[in-house]
Chain A
């Protein structure tokens, strides 16, 4: 058995059944070893697509996603996907081929120091220097990717090591992971005290909730305490979108109710969040009157940006369980519910053109709860967050921390590979879709029934919106009126496509998205002038939201 065969055996031992990647010179022994293995390899058309497909698998299953590429450009093309996984704490193992060790450091063909390049964006990384280290490295890489705060791990694999004869054999997979420790009793007691004293508490919950397996614990906590809830982008669905006490997403494009309640609260129960700037607005004026109970598995997040009155490091499930007690906060809860009623979105756009928020709202009503929505980045991403009601956070895949245009389509491929019978919809924009449109070929190759809902406003909409609002409407390099005919493009890839431009065409489009058995590309033309509302302007606090101008004032 050579090193490459040992690597593949180790992946099998870790339970890997599918990987996404792109072959090349330095990783050819691994691709040779994949032949006849129990692992299905999905060939993407760009290494970035492989990294995001692996992320789609990981985000939708909670398991480690695996991607691979060759040395040099193959490795650097993975970098954006690895960074994205790092910022959103996604368990990913990226395997890169490397030139043979005698050539390392000589500027050899397709040599790049991916180990050094990736240092700031991985949880850990390995350069395999001894063929018999492979079992321990692979085993540790998978454990690290998943344990504690998840993240990406890189294994750089020189070609000569992959061809060397190995004596070692794969290690047994860990049976189960140990749960993180329970927060200290004294801290829990202090947190209970703060909860009892609070008159106006709010739960501020983020992506750490699903990653900790704490969705049910959070739902129980909210059910008993009856504290109103706001979510970050990554937390959406932890409390179902249609739950009475869910006030919406907070932050830059949050709801009026969510931001108002947070600004007025006297206690912020922060669960699996990192006080990201898109959520907090002007940090110094965020929830200015609130004490903070902060629960997170990563001690580096506690008091990183906002000093916690009580920091609960460790298992969120246990922490929430220890704090689940009834509270007397009826007046505050009723106040929040009034805020929610006041801020309800209006979907009665009196135009014939397609109104993206209404289409997404209607899609959420029509789609099954198990539908996966994979967003790209831009206006459509925020419209999804605002107007699509999620039943569980695993159903919403979005690039939050890095905000990577081009994430959605390959991520949808990874989700569909993991859930062949599920409805998987990539909601994209005409800017984002062009970042990884080559992956339509991957959909065709594997006959994946991925759906694409493309909102086309012939512009980089979010940038255009900011230029309109904050740069005196001076448009700079946002015009995409020379877009290709997306319907023709999709059909050229062998994907059935449909163009819709009128509001009365959306019902049928939604029906097709939910019920067509195979892949489908819906190209929806929307108004170029449409903006995402409401909006917290830069350097403002979340209480200083801008709202959509009244129709008479609208441009």
Chain B
């Protein structure tokens, strides 16, 4: 089951590693990833699609707990718990 997130990251050392580390540790596999400087150059915009059997909403909350994550939105999800 796949889930698509839009994440805004602070442009600080380790931010992307933290994000990817949480995805891996919480049991998800990355299907696609893009990270670009946002329009203002003040942060990163990360589009990430993951697959995993665990709740995507819980992953969203784990990502939101990261200090470097300014916002995280679950754009789409094929899990019943997201309905």
Contact = CB atoms under 8 A, between A and B. Distances in A.
Contact of B55 (A127, A144, A304): A304
Interface in A143-164: 144, 149
Interface string A111-128: 000011001100111010
A299 B14 contact: no
Interface in A462-519: none
Interface string B50-72: 00000101100110110110000
B17 A119 contact: yes
| Main SS at interface, chain B | helix
Contacts of B21: 119-120
A115 B65 contact: no
Interface in A530-551: none
Interface residues of A, number: 17
A99 B20 CA distance: 27
A123 B14 CA distance: 13
B55 A120 contact: no
A119 B65 contact: no
Nearest to A304: B58
A300 B17 contact: no
Given A124-B67, A298-B65, A116 B17 contact: yes
Given A303-B57, A303-B58, A119 B64 contact: no
Contacts of B67: 123-124, 144
A298 B13 CA distance: 25
A299 B61 contact: yes
Interface in A85-136: 115-116, 119-120, 123-125, 127, 129
A149 B17 CA distance: 22
Interface string A272-308: 0000000000000000000000000011101110000
Nearest to B18: A119
B14 A119 contact: yes
Contact of B13 (A123, A127, A299): A127
A507 B3 CA distance: 62
B61 A115 contact: no
A300 B61 contact: yes
A115 B64 contact: no
A373 to B, nearest CB: 32
Contact of A115 (B13, B25, B62): B13
Contacts of A304: 55, 58
A298 B61 CA distance: 8
Contacts of A123: 67
Chain B contact-residue range equals: 10 to 19
A208 to B, nearest CB: 15
B25 A299 contact: no
Given A119-B14, A120-B25, A299 B64 contact: yes
B21 to A, nearest CB: 6
A300 B65 contact: yes
Interface in B1-46: 13-14, 17-18, 21, 25
Nearest to B57: A303
B31 to A, nearest CB: 22
A304 B17 CA distance: 23
B9 to A, nearest CB: 13
Contact of A303 (B13, B55, B64): B55
Contacts of B57: 303
Nearest to B55: A303
Interface in A291-334: 298-300, 302-304
A302 B25 CA distance: 18
A337 to B, nearest CB: 37
A99 B67 CA distance: 26
A196 B13 CA distance: 51
Nearest to B13: A127
Interface string A41-77: 0000000000000000000000000000000000000
A245 to B, nearest CB: 32
A197 to B, nearest CB: 24
A423 to B, nearest CB: 38
Contacts of B65: 149, 298-300
Nearest to A307: B81
A149 B61 CA distance: 13
Contacts of A116: 14, 17
Contacts of B14: 115-116, 119, 125, 127
A517 B61 CA distance: 49
Q: Which residue, A298, A300, A304, has most C-beta atoms of chain B within 10 A?
A: A300
A119 B17 CA distance: 8
Contact of A300 (B18, B25, B58): B58
Contacts of B58: 300, 303-304
A375 B13 CA distance: 38
A117 to B, nearest CB: 11
Contacts of A129: 13
Nearest to B66: A124
Contacts of B68: 124
Nearest to A140: B67
Contacts of B64: 299-300
Given A144-B67, A299-B61, 5 more contacts: A119-B14, A119-B17, A119-B21, A299-B65, A300-B58
Give me the 3 closest cross-chain CB pairs, A-B, nearest first. A300-B61, A124-B67, A299-B61
Interface of A: 115-116, 119-120, 123-125, 127, 129, 144, 149, 298-300, 302-304
18 contacts: A115-B13, A115-B14, A119-B17, A119-B18, A119-B21, A120-B21, A120-B25, A124-B67, A127-B13, A127-B14, A129-B13, A144-B67, A149-B65, A299-B65, A300-B62, A300-B64, A302-B61, A304-B55
